[in-house]
Amino acid sequence: MMMSEKLFRRILLANDDGIEAPGIQILERVAEHFADEVWVVAPATDKSGVSNSVSLREPVRVEARGTRKFAVHGTPADCVAVAVRHLMKHSPPDVLLSGINNGSNIGFETVLSGTVGAAITGVLLGIPSIALSQDRRPEDKPDWRTAEQHGLPVLQTLFNAGLPAECCLNVNFPNLAAGPVKGIKIARQGIGKVNGITVTPTTDPHGENYFWLRVEHGNTDLPEHSEVSAVAEGYISVTPLTWERTSMDIWSTLSSQLKSAD
């Protein structure tokens, strides 16, 4: 039996923009260079902003959309769980790729992101995982050229380096034409570009109130080694992320204060 010349036997794709989103179609074409089988298990509709929430109190429905392609009526984390623990349980994926997201996942955005949530869920289930996002201005349509041209070499570089087991890698492509990209920069998360969340009230035709919630972006500092700084300078940022959110400075301060109060 001939051995495959590709790096992996199976790669799983997920996202939060939905199974028909252009970003996951780009990622599928890239993933085919690395794996014998590419599985797509993604939300049936856009599930942006749901982080890594899991549908614990409602059923999750799955529908086949083609060979090794499934639409899940649930969250991105549901998609990964269903894929790894059901659809592919007898032969789990070697790698999970989540995205490519329409818009950056930088700083606080990573806390909200279903794209990153899927990757974090992959790590939880023992699958090396990478989240990928294409930066853009909120008022502009996405320009996928950077992700299309650099997606394959970036993944090749990360695969060659070896994927960590204890965290996912968060990749952000800068909002540039493909040519000017300066390279890859390993970055820290930082605060990013989020200023807050806006709530806009409105009324439906029946006179009932409802609300639109939106993430509010604004100008931000560009601290050294941060994702936002790297992407603004024309680099592809790569950030190792995990579920650890402890502020070690405050932990140390509180520990000292409470110890002295005994």
Q: What does the pLDDT look like over 64-87, one tens digit per residue?
A: 999 999 999 999 999 999 999 999
Whether residue 226 lies inside any domain: the answer is yes
The Cα 186–Cα 184 span in angstroms is 7
Phi/psi of residue 8, nearest 5 degrees: -130, 155
Residue 124 host element (H or E): helix 114-124
The pTM of this model reads: 0.91
**Both structure tokens of 237:** 């940022």
Q: Collect all residues with Cβ–Cβ distance below 8 Å to 19 and sequence separation of at least 6.
A: 40, 42, 43, 44, 65, 69, 71
Strand ranges in 103-244 using DSSP code E only, listed in sequence order: 129-134, 168-173, 183-186, 194-203, 209-217, 235-241
What is the per-residue pLDDT for 262? 61
Where in the sequence is the domain holding 130, given as residue range(s)? 8-192+221-245
Q: Provide the CA 72 distance to its chain's centre, in angstroms.
A: 17
The answer to whether the Cα torsion of 75, 79, 80, 82 is positive or negative is positive
Q: What are the pLDDT digits (tens) for 171-219? A: 999 999 777 899 999 999 877 777 788 899 999 999 999 998 888 877 6
CATH, residue 69:
3.40.1210.10
Rounded Cα–Cα distance for residues 207 and 57 (Å): 30
Q: Are 103 and 142 in contact (CB under 8 A)?
A: yes
Report yes or no: 127 and 96 within 8 Å, Cβ to Cβ.
yes
Q: Is the pLDDT of residue 223 over 80?
A: no
Name the binding residues: 16-17, 48, 101
Through-space distance between the first and last CA atoms of the chain, rounded to whole angstroms: 69
Note whether 119 and 130 are within 8 A (CB): yes
Asked, for residue 198, whether it belongs to a domain, the answer is no
For the cut 50, the answer to whether the pLDDT of residue 1 exceeds it is no
d(CA 242, CA 168): 6
Beta pairing, strands 95-102 & 235-241: unpaired
Residue identified by tokens 């639109």 is 212
Residue 255 lies in a domain: no
Please, what is the angle between helix 145-161 and helix 22-31, to 10°? Answer: 40
The answer to whether residue 214 sits within a structural domain is no
pLDDT band at 17 (very low <50, low <70, confident <90, very high): very high
Binding site for a divalent metal cation: which residues?
A: 16-17, 48, 101
Does 59 fall in a domain?
Answer: yes
For the stretch 110-152, pLDDT in tens is: 999 999 999 999 999 999 999 999 999 877 888 999 999 999 9
CA distance 144 to 128: 25
Q: Tell me, yes or no, whether 199 lies in a domain.
A: no
Q: Could you give the 3-state DSSP secondary structure of residue 169?
A: strand
Residue 261 lies in a domain: no
Residue at 57 is within a domain: yes
Number of separate domains in the chain: 1
